[in-house]
Structure 1
Amino acid sequence: MNAMEWIQTLLISGLCIPSFCAEYRQHCLIETPKSWSDAQSYCRERGYDLATIDDMGAMKSLLALNADRAHDELWIGLHYGGPERWHWSLADEEFYQEGERDYRNFGAMDNTSRYVSHIYGKWKTVDHAQLWFVCYDGNRQGGERYVLVREVMSWTGAQVYCRSHHTDLLSIRNPEESQAVAERFSRYDVLIGLFKDAWHWSDKRNSSFRHWEQDSFVGLFPQSCAVMTGKGPGRWSQRSCDELHPFLCTCTRRLVVKVKVRSEDIQELNDPAILKQTQKLLNEATLSNHHKVAWRTNSDGQVFTKEQCQEEDCTEREQSQDLCNIE
């Protein structure tokens, strides 16, 4: 049963879904060429910011927006500088539970290296390595999700391959997954999806999503900023921040949906596990990857409340749309 069928079953069987708020990001293209800092100021003066791109779903939306101007290079909100941080190539928030983004299992580390390989159950840092690699495939089950690719590639080349043929480079989120990967590939020195960089988003979001051209870094310099290029599909590259380019702003809007249906057990429905699962399924069924769903709580702190209503009123659905406070 897919997510939409599951939610329809909930409604028919008498479970109720109260108001929820979905914050979603929209992008607008500004065609007047500006430097990166002037583009940032332009967006912020209007209550927006330069575009942050969270995942491949957002990238596809941007490619559609820029379909008629695919030859242009467009500023996005990513700029070089500040502290280096470790990120996973697979950026989707729903993929990680609390603390899983920060799981580490290093055996050897060189602070000057930017990428990570896995061997004998431990991680080691590597730089510009040419190695086999492991992809993660979300459409498979169990150990089959971990796909060993016996081709020698750089880390960025491996990322491009995994995103084209599977889901992404492998993330290892907890000790159990670390053990599973060690059992399958322990004797191989293979690249995984962890990388370190000093690129930061203009709006301070901690999105780890990167979509660079393969091996695009000839050298980094302090005034480097990122453009979305016309090279397929919309790969990013670094440019001097003083160059003049059109640019993309991001604004945040809120979609408020209210649903009322019958329910016999309000207390059970307020169980955090049920709320979390229903929220996840709503996101999958009705929203794109870059929507963010949150429950609206009542004055008593509960999501679900009991009210008296006529039978025909209990299945009424109301929908409204308004602007959120811009982040």
Structure 2
Amino acid sequence: MAEMEKIKSAVQDAGVREAWIGLKHGSSPKWQWSLAGRDFYRENEAEFRNWDNGQPDPAGGEECVVIKDGGGKWHDHSCTSNFHFICYNGRNSTHPYVLVEDKKNWTDAQRYCREKHTDLASVRNQTENGQIASVRGSGNGHVWIGLFRDAWEWSDGSNSSFRHWGPREPNYGGAEYTFCTLITSSGLWNDVGCQHTVSFICYEGESPGHGLFPWL
């Protein structure tokens, strides 16, 4: 979010309404964790899954993941549904998982966890899955965890899961286009066809005195 605020300020300082950032829609959706830091996962831990029978649903349209029941099995579900959710608090090694009993859609749950704790819960192994299922408890119905699927890719090849879409975005208007991402002067993101000609934001590495620049 701190980086996003810098980019927003660059757009506003340049006096433009919108500018490209480096997020593009690719052709191969993949499952990934909201908490994307590579140091958080040992070998193969980011690939741990505990799907229920018949999951994930091959029909598509269900791009976020819930723990369904006390057995800790996972189901994919529409990200716009409102459920309780599990946050991960990296500052508490004794009780790192927090059940939030406010019902939110997946994106709002992610935002809450990042603001109040660390992120939505990742599940790296069967032991952690059992711990999270225990925190979930009984009677809470579906509960969000931090696994989601999309095809958006950063041009630098990073696996950051940070997104800051505006309301009802991305909406993929005009299926014949390849979609790229604009940041608006409000700081929210919008998907549009990559063929449009607009300003863009460059990143200039760690050189002293350099940073993010808008170009017309």
- Alignment check: 8 A CA contact 1:157 1:214 kept: no
> Counterpart in 2 of 1:250?
203
Partner of residue 64 from structure 2, selected from 107, 110, 115: 115
> Counterpart in 2 of 1:160?
111
**For residue 110 of structure 1, what is the amino acid of its counterpart?**
D
What is the CA–CA distance in structure 1 between the aligned matches of 2:35 and 2:9, rounded to whole Å? 22
Q: Which runs of 5+ in 1 are unaligned?
A: 1-55, 256-327
Instruction: Give CA deviations for 1:293-314 in whole Å, capped at 9, x if unaligned.
Output: xxxxxxxxxxxxxxxxxxxxxx
What is the CA–CA distance in structure 2 between the aligned matches of 1:201 and 1:68, rounded to whole Å? 24
Higher helix share goes to which structure? 1
Q: Is 1:147 matched with 2:98?
A: yes
**Aligned ranges 1:234-313 → 2 under 5 Å:** 234-252=187-205
Greater CA deviation, 120-129 or 237-246?
237-246
Shift of 1:178: 0.8
- Alignment check: 8 A CA contact 2:172 2:192 kept: no
Shift of 1:205: 3.4
> Counterpart in 2 of 1:137?
89
Shift of 1:101: 1.6
Shift of 1:165: 2.3
Higher relative contact order (CA 8 A, sep 6+): 1
Q: Secondary structure at the match of 1:205?
A: coil
| CA radius of gyration, larger in | 1
The number of residue pairs the alignment matches comes to 197
Cα distance 1:252–1:71, how it changes in 2: closer, same or farther (>3 A)? closer
**For residue 133 of structure 1, what is the amino acid of its counterpart?**
F
> Counterpart in 2 of 1:295?
none
Shift of 1:150: 1.5
> Counterpart in 2 of 1:30?
none
**Aligned ranges 1:92-131 → 2 under 5 Å:** 92-107=37-52, 108-111=55-58, 112=60, 113-119=62-68, 120=70, 121-127=72-78, 128-131=80-83
**For residue 184 of structure 2, what is the amino acid of its counterpart?**
T
Q: Secondary structure at the match of 1:142?
A: coil
TM-score (norm: length of structure 2): 0.78
Root-mean-square deviation over aligned CA pairs:
2.6
Shift of 1:82: 0.8
Shift of 1:228: 2.0
What is the CA–CA distance in structure 1 between the aligned matches of 2:16 and 2:124, rounded to whole Å? 38
Cα distance 1:92–1:69, how it changes in 2: closer, same or farther (>3 A)? farther
> Counterpart in 2 of 1:228?
183
State the identity %.
Answer: 38
- Alignment check: 8 A CA contact 2:172 2:191 kept: no
What is the CA–CA distance in structure 1 between the aligned matches of 2:91 and 2:41, rounded to whole Å? 17
